[in-house]
A and B are shown apart, each in its own frame.
Chain A
Amino acid sequence: MPARIVVLGGGVGGTLAANLLHKELGRNATVTVVDPTGMHVYQSGFLYVALGQANGRWLSRDERTLLYPGVELAIEGAARVHPDRGEVELQRGGSLPYDYLVMATGARLVPEQVPGMAEGAQHFYSLEGALRLREELDRFDGGKVVVGVAGIPYKCPPAPVEFVFMLEEYLRDRGIRGRSEVTLLSPLNRAFTIESASKVVQPIMESRGIGLSTFFNVETVEPAAGVVTSLEGEKAEYDLAVIVPPHRGQSVVEASGLGDPGGWIPTDRTTLQVEGQERIFAMGDATNLPISKSGSTAHFEAPVIASRMASLIRGTAPKEGYEGRVMCFLETGNRRTTVLRFDYEHPPIPPKPSLHWHVAKWLFNRIYWATVPKGRVPDIGTRPKAVPEKKKEG
């Protein structure tokens, strides 16, 4: 009898893992993706939507069109996983039995955890949020803009830095830069958590007149007073506040008792198996791994999960392990982009922001649908130590 594999979540990780498992195991397994909406969203695009550089429709596709024909899709919300009896309980009633399970459930936004956030701040971490922010920016006619984060971990760590750069350019293009201030509120004493990346972006921020408030961990937003307060007791005045909302794991993780206090799934950093669960794997934003929550993380984890699960099913020794590979583009505005490639052992060595990487990112945004979910992407995530430096560009 074929092994029954269920994949919870139809984001980049779940979709790619399901396709690779089907390719690897063929008739030896049935693969079913369970997703509450049946729509696949390319979340990296929210940033461009917020700044009026992309259309919202470009960001979502019918999940069915991204899965191989042999992969089943169930448009259902998962209420609870029962590892003891190998079942996923569905929100609409009924359940789905599994022999092997992939938790690719992602993260959810919990803005309600920050007082004043929902009323007083904007964000670009959902399509609705990005569209709302775009409207706010259309109305914005100069003033103080603060950009910060209200909780760690959050998806796509470079996004707030990219946003300040792209916003600064946007304000210049609109001719209102002169009467605007842009300030990044950072939880550390530098612009970005990774030191080598900070060294690249901070001088650019300085040269573009973008302010930096250090050790500013957002605690509340006070729309009436027009201030954001920090845990450290500081206040930042604003006319427009763009704050990344706190993130948590999905409720199905918590309801199943598989999460840590933040709702993240304790996962083995190499095998990607859920701790104490041989037949359950976790990937992407859903895990507790101390690595970026990013589509590229899920992208690099999917082949490891497919290969290890196939070995388990066949009873052979698993070969591949996840080494913590991540790749993030970091837009610095003015058609310049750098790239962060790293893993557990090698911190990134970001190249000087260039047009070359800007074009690479532009291309990636366009080829995403045809390549990434189906595993047709060329190997773009070369390890940091093996990165050849590109020719010098301005």
Chain B
Amino acid sequence: MSQTITTVDARGLSCPLPVVKAAQALKLLGPGETFEVLATDPGSQSDIPAWCRATGTELVEHGEDGGVYRYLLKKKG
């Protein structure tokens, strides 16, 4: 079964918008749901993990491809 996940596209947006967009998305998701955040702001590399720790969101994986940072996140169950 294929699964579509919510994508928060924060590419081209500056700090702190990636975190704000992630917070807005988190609000709409159910417990345990997975979503991804795309950002080009290098500051997101420290801000997103710190935000995850503060909100209990799991940072499942993260990586960078051609200047785009991708964070796969899972809302607290």
Question: Would you call B17 an interface residue if the criterion is a C-beta within 8 Å of the partner chain's C-beta atoms?
Answer: yes
Q: Considering the chains assembled together, what is the distance between the CA atoms of A290 and B44 in angstroms?
A: 14
Q: How far is the CA of A187 from the CA of B54 in the complex (A)?
A: 12
B43 at the interface (CB under 8 A from A): yes
Please tell me which one of the listed residues A152, A189, A217 contacts residue B47 in the complex, with CB atoms under 8 A apart: A189
B15-41 CB contacts (< 8 Å) to partner A: 15-17, 19-20, 23-24, 26-27, 41
Question: Which residues of chain B are near A187, meaning CB under 8 Å?
Answer: 16, 19-20, 23
Query: Which of A193, A215, A291 has a CB less than 8 Å from the CB of B55?
Result: A215
Contact with A along B40-53 (1 / 0, CB 8 A): 01010001001100
Tell me whether B13 and A290 are in contact (CB under 8 A): yes
A 211-238 binary contact with B (CB < 8 Å = 1; else 0): 0001101010000000000111100000
Chain A residues positioned under 8 Å from B13 (CB to CB) = 290
Q: Are A195 and B43 in contact (CB under 8 A)?
A: yes
Nearest CB in chain B: distance from A49 CB, A: 27
Q: Which of B20, B41, B50 contacts A217 (CB 8 A)?
A: B20
Are A215 and B54 closer than 8 Å at their CB atoms?
yes
Inter-chain contact A290/B26, CB cutoff 8 Å:
no
Interface residue SS majority, chain B: helix
In Å, the complex CA distance between A14 and B20 comes to 31
Chain A hits for B41, CB < 8 A: 290
Contact of B19 among A153, A188, A194, A195 (CB under 8 A): A188
> In this assembly, does B6 line the interface, its C-beta being within 8 Å of a C-beta of chain A?
no
B15 contacts A232, CB within 8 Å? no
**Residue of B12, B20, B41 most packed against chain A (CB within 10 A):** B20
Categorize the interface residue count of chain A.
10 to 19
Closest Cβ of chain B to A287, distance in Å, is 12
Q: Is the CB of A188 within 8 A of B55?
A: no
A193 lies within 8 A of B27 (CB):
no
CB distance from A194 to the nearest CB of B (A): 8
The one of A195, A232, A233, A291 in contact with B14, judged by C-beta atoms closer than 8 angstroms, is: A291
A231 touches B51 (CB 8 A): no
Closest to B54 in A: A215
Pull 6 A–B residue pairs with CB atoms less than 8 Å apart, ordered by A. A152-B16, A215-B55, A230-B23, A232-B26, A232-B54, A290-B14
Given contacts A153-B17, A217-B24, A233-B55, 4 further A-B contacts (CB under 8 A): A188-B16, A188-B50, A219-B27, A231-B23
